Amino acid sequence: METVTITMKNPPGLFLEADNVSPDTFAGKKAADIAALHAFEGREQTSLGKYFEVSGNGGATAADTRIVVKGDVSRVKYIGMKMTAGEVVIENSPDMYTGAWMQGGKLLVKGSTNAFTGIGMKGGELVIEGDTGNYLGAAYRGDWRGMQGGIIRVRGNAGSDTGYFMNGGTIIVEGNTDVHVGTHMEGGTIIIKGNVPSKVGGQMVEGTIYVFGTIDVMMPGFKFVKDEEMEVDGYKGLFSLFHGDLGERHPKRKGQVVYGKLYQKI
Amino acid sequence: MTKTVTDVICPFCGTLCDDLEVVVSDDGKTIVDVYNACAIGAEKFMHSQARDRVKRPRMQQPDGTYKEVSYDEAVEYTAQMLANAKKPLMYGWSSTSCEAQSVGHEIAEKVGAIVDNTATVCHGTTLIAVQDVGIPSCTLGEIKNRADRIIFWGCNPAHAHPRHQSRYSIFPRGFFTNKGHKNRKVVVVDPRRTDTAKMADYHFQIEQGRDYELLSAFRVAVRGEWLPDTVAGISKERIYEAAEMLKSGRFGIIFFGMGVTQSLSKNHNIDEAIMLTKDLNDYTKFSIMAMRGHYNVTGSGQVMGWQFGFPYATDLSRGFARYNPGETTSNDLLVRGEVDAVFVLGSDPGAHFPISSVKKISQLPSVCVDPHITPTSEVSKLHVPVAFVGVEVGGNCYRMDNVPIDARKVVDPPEGMLTDEEFLTRVNKRLEQLVAVT
C-alpha cells in the first residue's frame, strides 16, 4: 500500500471544498499530479497544492492508496467524500461532510468532526476518536435515504439528528448525543452508550436503537413490551424493549406488524 | 380635495390584505390616511411620509458619520464589492417584489453568491419539512368558506397577523360557514396564554420545547393507540378528546408559526404536524399552512424555487445551485466566517440575527438596501435608500397561501429615488462589465 501525506501549509481564508482528497482520485497519481487536483475556495477554483504540501505517490488502485492528512484542516470540507476503498487518516479535526456518501474503505479521524459526517453512507468503516456534530450518518437534505450500510463509530459525543432517515448500517456513539436519534428511521442499528435528552426514535418505522444511558423524556409513541437479555457491542446485560413509534405507519410481515425497536439498558 | 385609492395591497405581513383604502392628497404626492389596515399596516404607509426620511445613498465613514453619495457611486461600490468577493452573501428579499428578486438572482448567479431569504430565521425549517414529506395545503379562501376546525400551533396572529382571524380564520362568514365563529372550533397550542389563546375553545398550555411529543401524541391518538398518562403536560384524556373533535370536523386547518419552527426540534415539528394532517385526511379533509411573516417571503421562495430549485439558502458559488440549511444558511455562514461580503435587501438582519452574526456583518464589506434606517443600515458600510414597494412602486407578491397578488402603487417616490428593481438592474449592468461570464 502506497501512502500519500498531505500537510496543510497555507490554510484557506474562507473554507476549502476538497472533495478530491480521496483514495479514488489519488490512485495512480504522482505527488505533482495530486497537487494539481482542483479544490474550491468560494467561487475560485484553485488546486490542492496551493494549500497542502503533498509527498508520496498514490497506489495503483484506490485499495492500494493510503492518505494521511496532517496540519490544521478545521476549514476543509468533504475529505474522503464518496471514497470506495483504501484508507484515509486525518490527524486533526476536519470540518463538515467528512466521509460523506462513503462507499467503502477505512476513514479514521483522530480529532473531532463537524456536522454532516458520513451522510448518505453506503459502506466502509468510519471512526472518529473525538466528538462529531449534527446529522451523523443522516440523509442529505430532501433525501429519504440516509445511511444505508457500513459502520460509524464515534468515541466522543454526537450532536442532534443522528441517523436521520437511516435505513441500514450501524452507528455507535460511545458518548452522549443531543436530541433526535433515529428520526424517520426505516432500518439499521444505532447504539448510544451515553445519554440522550429526548426525541429518541420519533417517526421511526423499523430498525433498532440501543440506549445505555438515560432518556430524559421518552416519545409518547413508545410502549414497553418486555425485558430482554442481550449482547450489544461487547456488553451483555438486561434491556427493556419498547415498540414504536405508534403514531407512524408500520409494515406487516407474515401477518405481524413490524415496529421500530428501542432497547434501554436497565 | 383628496382622492381615495381603493383595493390597495398591504405590504406588511404574509396575510397580504387586499382591501385597503388609501387617501392621498390632490396632487397625488402625499398619503393623508389609510383605512381598513391594521395598526402595523397603516404605519407602513404613513412611515413613507416621514420628513426625516433618507433620500440618497450614504457611505459610513471611519468615524461613524455618514457621507451622502450619488446612486452612481452606490452602484459602483456595490458592483465592485460583489465582483471582488470570493463568496458574497446576498440576504433579505422578503420585503421586495418578485421582479426585484429575479434581478437579484441574476446578479447572484454572476458573482457566485449565496442567496438566502428571511425564511432562514423563520419558516426555513418548514421548507425543509415540506421537502422531506410534502404538504397538503389550500388557499385562505377555502379556509374562510369551509374550515370548521382551526388550530393555531405556536403562533399568535392576534399580534403578528392582526387581520388574519377576521378575514380568514376565526370570524368571517363564508359559503359553508355562514355562522362565522359559531361554526368553528378553535384550538390554540401555546405555552403562554396569548391573546389568540383567549379566543380559543381549547387552549393546550404545552410545556416549552415539547411540541414534537404532543404532535406525535395526537397522531397516536388519531390511530387509537396507547398513550402515557400525560404528554407535554397535557393529560391523555384531553388529547384523545381533541383528536376526536378534529376527526369530527368537515374541514380542518393547522396554522403554525415561530413557536414550532424555531423552537426545539425545528423542522421535525413541522414534519410531524404535516404527517398529523395527512393522518387526519383518513377521516376528514385537513390542511396545513405556515403563517409567513414578511409580505413577500413566500414570493422569494417561489422565485428562487423556479429559478434555482431551492426555496432559500441557495449556494451558487460553484456555478450550480446547492442547498443545505446548517451550512448554507446566513447565520451559519456569518458565524463560521464562510463569506467575505454581505449584501442585504428588503430585510433587517441587524435586528433579527444573533449579535455574533451582526458583528460579522459590521466587519465585512457590506451594503444595505432599505427604505428605512435600520440596525442593518447602521452596521453596513453603504446604505442605499429606495422606494417603498407596495406604496411607491407596484410589483408581484405572494400571499402566505402561495397566491400571487400584484401590489399597487399609491404615490410617487421622492424625486430622484430609485426602486429596488432599478438599483439592482444598474448593479447588474455594471457587473456585466466587471465579471467575465465563464
pLDDT-based confidence at residue B182 (cuts at 50, 70, 90): very high
Domain boundary among B244, B263, B290: B290
The C-alpha cell that represents B426 in the structure block = 444598474
Predicted confidence (pLDDT) per residue in B207-261, tens digit:
999 999 999 999 999 999 999 999 999 999 999 999 999 999 999 999 999 999 9
What is the rounded CA–CA span in Å between residue B168 and residue B419?
32
Neighbours of B378 (CB within 10 A): 16
Same domain for B256 and B133, yes or no, is yes
- Residue contact B339–A199, C-beta within 8 A: no
Residue A200 DSSP one-character state: B
Does residue B274 sit in the same domain as residue B334? no
Co-location of B84 and B167 in the same domain:
no
pLDDT tens across A246-262, in order?
999 999 999 999 999 99
One domain, residues B223 and B307? no
Q: Is residue B52 part of a domain?
A: no
User: From the list B112, B272, B323, which residue is nearest A203 (CB)?
Assistant: B272
Judge whether B161 lies within some domain. Answer: yes
Mean pLDDT of A169-198: 97
So what's the pLDDT on residue B28? 85
Are B379 and B305 contained in the same domain? Answer: yes
DSSP string, B93-113: -TTS-HHHHHHHHHHHHHHT-
Instruction: Identify whether residues B41 and B68 lie together within a single domain.
Output: no
Tell me if B105 is assigned to some domain.
Answer: yes
The percent of residues above 70 in pLDDT, for chain B, comes to 100
Closest partner residue to A180 among B226, B265, B317, by Cβ? B265
Question: Mean per-residue pLDDT for A2-6?
Answer: 97
Does residue B53 lie within any of the structural domains? no
Give the nearest partner residue to B131 out of A44, A142, A202, using CB atoms: A142
Q: What is the CATH number of the domain that holds B271?
A: 3.40.228.10
Domain assignment present for B365 = yes
Residues of A in contact with B226 (CB under 8 A): 223, 246
Domain extent at residue B65: 58-121+295-434
The residue of B82, B84, B86 whose CB has the most chain A CBs within 10 angstroms, and thus the best one to mutate to test that interface, is: B86
Gap between the Cα atoms of A262 and B114, Å rounded: 41
Do B340 and B395 lie in one domain? The reply is: yes
B424 and B360 in a common domain: yes
Residues B310 and B387 in one domain: yes
Q: Average pLDDT of chain A? A: 96
B236 in any annotated domain = yes
Question: Which CATH number characterizes residue B306's domain?
Answer: 3.40.50.740
Residues forming beta bridges with residue B153, ordered by sequence position: B189, B256
Does residue B94 carry a pLDDT above 70? yes
For residue B1, the model assigns a pLDDT of: 82
Q: How confident is the model at residue B83 (pLDDT cuts 50, 70, 90)?
A: very high
Domain end marker among B290, B316, B341: B290
> What global pTM score does this model have?
0.95
Give per-residue pLDDT as tens, A34-55: 999 999 999 999 999 999 999 9
Residues B249 and B305 in one domain: no
Question: Is the predicted pLDDT of residue B438 greater than 70, yes or no?
Answer: no
Helix (H, G, I), strand (E, B) or coil at A251: coil
Average pLDDT, rounded, for chain B: 95
Phi then psi for residue B157, to 5 deg, are: -60, -25
Antiparallel, parallel or unpaired: β B31-35 and A2-8: unpaired
Domain count, chain B: 3
State the virtual CA torsion across A76, A79, A82, A86 in degrees, nearest 10.
Answer: 170
Place of cell 450619488: B70
What was the pLDDT predicted at A49? 97
User: Is A115 near chain B, with CB under 8 Å?
Assistant: yes
Looking at residue B250, the DSSP 8-state letter turns out to be S
Q: What are phi and psi of A184, to 5 degrees?
A: 65, 25
- Mean pLDDT computed over B262-277: 96
Helix (H, G, I), strand (E, B) or coil at A139: coil
When pLDDT is averaged across residues B401-417 and rounded to a whole number, the result is 95
| Residues facing B344 on adjacent strands | B91, B368
**Is the confidence at residue B163, as pLDDT, over 90?**
yes
ipTM (interface pTM): 0.95
**Residue B355: exposure state from Cβ atoms within 10 A (0-12, 13-18, ≥19):** exposed
Which of B290, B320, B342 is the C-terminal boundary of a domain? B290
Q: How far is CA A104 from the centre of its chain?
A: 12
* CA distances for B336 relative to A39, B50, B291, B340, angstroms: 19, 38, 30, 11
Residue ranges of chain B whose CB lies within 8 Å of a chain A CB: 85-87, 111-112, 128, 131-132, 210, 212-213, 216-220, 222-223, 225-228, 231, 264-265, 268, 271-272, 275, 279, 317-319, 323-327, 336-340
Same-domain check for residues B161 and B187: yes
Would B316 be classed as within a structural domain?
yes
Q: Are residues B346 and B250 in the same domain?
A: no
Q: Find residues 119-138 of chain A whose CB sits inside 8 Å of chain B.
A: 134-135
Residue B251: the pLDDT is: 97
**Does residue B42 belong to any structural domain of this protein?**
yes
Cell 445613498, residue located:
B57
Distance, in Å, from the CA atom of B95 to the CA atom of B249, rounded to the nearest integer, reads 37
Q: What is the pLDDT of residues A101-121, one digit of tens each?
A: 999 999 999 999 999 999 999
C-alpha pair distances (Å), B252 with each of A53, A111, B143, B170: 63, 51, 8, 12
pLDDT score for B437: 56
